Amino acid sequence: MLLDRTSGMVRSEASRWSVVARRVMWVAFGVVLASALAGCIEDPKRDILDPVSDSADISAYMYNLLLAVCSVIMVIVAAWFTYSVVRFRKRPDDDGELPPQIHGHTQLEVAWTIIPTLIVIAITIPTIINIFELERRPGEGEPVTKIEVIGKQWWWEYNYKDEGFMTANEMHVEVGTTVQLEMTAADVIHAFWVPQVTGKRDATPGRVYEMFFNVREPGEYIGQCAELCGSSHALMGIKLFAHPKEGPNSYAAWVASQKKAAEPPRSPEAQRGKELFMQKGCMRCHNISGDARTELHPKARRRETGPDLTHVGSRTTIAALTLKNTRENIARWVHDPQSIKQGALMGDPRFNTVQVSKEEAEAIASYLFRLK
Ligand code: HEC
Ligand SMILES: [Cu+2]
């Protein structure tokens, strides 16, 4: 029992719970409204109902099929229910007698067993067909882009093994060419998901799961790690660029630029940045190819190894979409990664006790940002 301070009356436990329940409802309402608004302003969008690949078509088709079937059922049930409530409501002349009961009515029982079974079968058949369709491997001789994907706390490593380079978070593929992801994880379970392009699939330590897709529209698609993987899980974004087959923005042009060794520094400040990069031991965790002194030996790769920085300046974002890629943001990140991404393995005292002053970070940023 509680004493209500304004009225001095004793309030029951029940009314206290109703106050709590009302507050919970308001909070829930706020959360729903905020996420709906967030959905409105999002650009570019991440919408499974606007698929741009064969794989996402399947997910959208299954979603729409289930929505249609369930909507029909809902309308029938709701209409029948409303009709019954109105038609059989209690009237003033009600004599209190029970209406005829249907317990043990054989035809009805058979009907409500068979109809749901048919509905479930109708949903199961396309589901099974589509599961096989999603797993279908590309045919012999069909060109395939193979990308090894490694989920790490809290970013994505992409290894274009056939081409011989690595990149991070921003995946590039070619429109019309089947992409084969070979997904695993270095630490905990993550999940790769670009709603307009792929289904959701776990990246699990010690296992390799494949995923296939073929994008049909050039563009930029946003994704997100979809498996709670620790404190900065929400800052583990994905960007997928689908390049046309031809032209200056073609996939081949992107691959050619990524295969090049890193640009040597051009300005004195960038030169100093490169020296600081080496002095501070950044290449313990980062590779910059083209100079043995900034290269990370492939055998030295560990769980805490960070993104390949050979072409870090060519990315549009850094730290898995946490920051826009600008010179200033690289400097901010290098100076104090922990304040930007809590728990990031860079700047974690267990692996890295190197302190980089603001001014040093700026020199390093001049070097890194030019690595286009
Ligand atoms: C202990 C290993 C480690 C060391 C040492 C380290 N880093 Fe990192 N670095 C990482 C990891 C891990 C990430 C990815 C963080 C994330 O996004 O969660 C990262 C991310 C970055 C990024 C962003 C790259 C991108 O594409 O998102 C830059 C730039 C960077 N580090 C520069 C440096 C510099 C400069 C130094 C030396 C002062 C350094 N790092 C030292 C592990 C390390
Ligand atoms: Cu995650």
Say how many Å lie between the CA of residue 202 and the centre of ligand 1: 24
Radius of gyration of the chain (CA): 29
Lining ligand 1 with CB less than 6 A are 154-155, 168, 277, 280, 282, 284-286, 304, 306-307, 309, 312, 315, 318-320, 330, 333-334, 341, 344-346, 351-352, 354, 356, 364, 368
CATH topology of domain 15-91+137-259: Immunoglobulin-like (2.60.40)
**Please, what is the average pLDDT of the chain?**
91
Whether the domain at 15-91+137-259 and the domain at 268-369 fall into the same CATH topology: yes
Q: How many CB atoms lie within 10 A of CB 50?
A: 13
Cross-strand pairs, 222 = 239
Report domain extents, the chain.
15-91+137-259, 268-369
Distances (CA, A) of 215 to 111, 161, 331: 45, 20, 35
67-89 CB burial, b ≥16 within 10 A, e <16: eeeeeeeeeeeeeeeeeeeeeee
pLDDT in tens, 59-70: 999 999 999 999
pLDDT in tens, 117-156: 999 999 999 999 999 999 999 989 999 999 999 999 999 9
pLDDT in tens, 325-364: 999 999 999 999 999 999 999 988 888 678 899 999 999 9
For the chain, the helix, strand and coil percentages under 3-state DSSP, each to the nearest 5: 40, 20, 40
Say how many Å lie between the CA of residue 330 and the centre of ligand 1: 10
CATH topology of domain 268-369: Immunoglobulin-like (2.60.40)
pLDDT band at 7 (very low <50, low <70, confident <90, very high): very low
Say how many Å lie between the CA of residue 153 and the centre of ligand 2: 8
pTM assigned to the model: 0.86
